[in-house]
Structure 1
Amino acid sequence: MTATSVSSVSADPPLLIFSISAQSSAAAVLTRAETMVVHLLDAHDLDIAKLGATSGIDRFAETHRYSRLVTGEPVYRHVRAWARCAVIERMDAGSSTVIAAHALQSHVERDIAAGTSGDPLVYHNRSWHRLGDHSRIQ
C-alpha cells in the first residue's frame, strides 16, 4: 500500500510510524505482519506509488519489479530507499491502525546531498506532485 506519511520517531533505536486505514485492501496482511519493508519513494518512483495506492490488486503480480530479501520480504527494485522493519507496536486510532516499527536493515539507492531537496513526491488534493524550487514558499 502507499502510505500518505511515514514519520521518523527515533534515531537510536531507528523507529518509524505510519498508519493503515481499515478500508485498505492491504490492511488484513499488514496488521498481522511481524516484519515488513517500508519503501521511501521520490518522484522517480511514481509508478510504484500508484501501484501501492491501487486497491484490490496483486501488487506483486509483476515479478520483474521486485526481488525478495533472504528473510522473504519483497523489495521493489530501483526505489529511492527502503527499510526492513520489525513491528514493535500497533495502536487502533479511529478507523486506522498506527504501526510503530524498528528499522533492522536499510538500503539507499539514490542519495541526496545535504541541504538539497532531492526530488520529493507528494500526494495532495487527490493528485501527485513533484516538489522543487518552483514550489518553494519562502
Structure 2
Amino acid sequence: MRTAAHSSAPPRAPHAFGASLSADEFKALFRGHPGGVAVITADAGAGPVALTATSVSSVSAEPPLLIFSISARSSAAATLARADTVVVHLLDAHDLPLAQLGATSGVDRFADTSAWARLLTGEPVYRGVRAWVRCAVIGRMDAGGSTVIAAHALQSRLERDVDPGAPGDALVYHNRTWHRLGAHSRIE
C-alpha cells in the first residue's frame, strides 16, 4: 500500500522534516479530538483476540474500504498481523461494557461464551452490538509503533440503525473518558 496516491517517490523519513512533537504533546492534541469506538476481533488460528479501537475510519464506499490502526504493544497485535479477515464491531452507548472489556488488559475477552459466536467463516463476533462488518485485510503498513490495516468490507449486520439526521446513541472516547452522543449534544 503506498502512502501517497500519485507519487512513486519513497516516503521521506520523519527526521527529514526537522524536530517533531513529543509524545506528550501529540497525546494532548488528540485527547480533545473524540473518536468513535469499535471493537476489532480476529482469529489467525491460535484462538480469538479482541481490542478496543478509536481509529476506525471509512475510506471508500465503492469499493467498501476502511482502515484502523493497532499498537504493537497490544496483546492482539501478533494475531492481527497474521489474520486474513477481521470483524469490526461499531459500538453505541449500549455497548459500553464490550468497549471496556476490549480496553482492559490481562482479561479473557472471550470467557463469557454466551456473549459471542463464530461466523460460518470462522471469525469471532460479539452478539447484540449496534453493528459489525466482516472484512478481508488488503494491506498493512508499519507506522511508528503501530500498524495501519486496510480492509475490504465483505459482510455486515446492523442491529440498531440510526435514521439520517437523528442523534442516535453513538459511543465516543474523548479526553480519556467514554461519552454518549445524543439529542443533548446536537448543535444546529
- For each residue in 1:35-70, what CA deviation from the matched residue of structure 2 results, as whole angstroms up to 9, or x when unmatched? 010000000100111111112322111100011101
Choose which of 149, 163, 172 in structure 2 pairs with 1:113.
163
Query: 1:69-96: CA deviations, max 9, x gaps?
Result: 0111111000000000000000011110
Equivalent residue number for residue 30 of structure 1? 80
TM-score normalised by length of structure 2? 0.71
Q: Which residue of 1 aligns with 2:21?
A: none
For the aligned residues, what is the CA RMSD? 1.1
For 2:185, the equivalent position in structure 1 comes to 135
Q: For structure 1, list consecutive stretches of 5 or more residues without a partner in the other structure.
A: none
Equivalent residues, number: 138
Q: How do 1:56-67 and structure 2 match up within 5 A?
A: 56-67=106-117
Give the fraction of aligned pairs with identical amino acids, expressed as a percent: 77
1:117 Cα deviation (Å)? 2.2
Please say if residues 167 and 186 of structure 2, whose CA atoms lie closer than 8 Å, have aligned partners that are also in contact.
Answer: no
Q: Work out the CA distance in 2 between the residues paired with 1:81 and 1:121.
A: 12
Q: Of Structure 1 and Structure 2, which has the larger fraction of its residues in strand?
A: 1
| In 2, Cα distance between equivalents of 1:115 and 1:137 | 12
The answer for unaligned runs of 5 or more in structure 2 is: 1-50
Which residue in the other structure is 1:11 paired with?
61
Q: Which has the higher contact order (CA 8 A, sep 6+)?
A: 1
Counterparts of 1:30 and 1:89 in 2: how far apart (Å)?
A: 12
CA distance in structure 1 between the aligned counterparts of 2:108 and 2:116, rounded to whole angstroms: 13
Runs (4+) of structure 1 exceeding 3 A deviation are none
Shift of 1:137: 4.5
Alpha-carbon distance in structure 1 between the residues aligned to 2:119 and 2:142 = 29
SS of match in other structure, 1:31 = helix
State the TM-score, normalized to the length of structure 1: 0.95
Larger Cα-atom Rg: 2
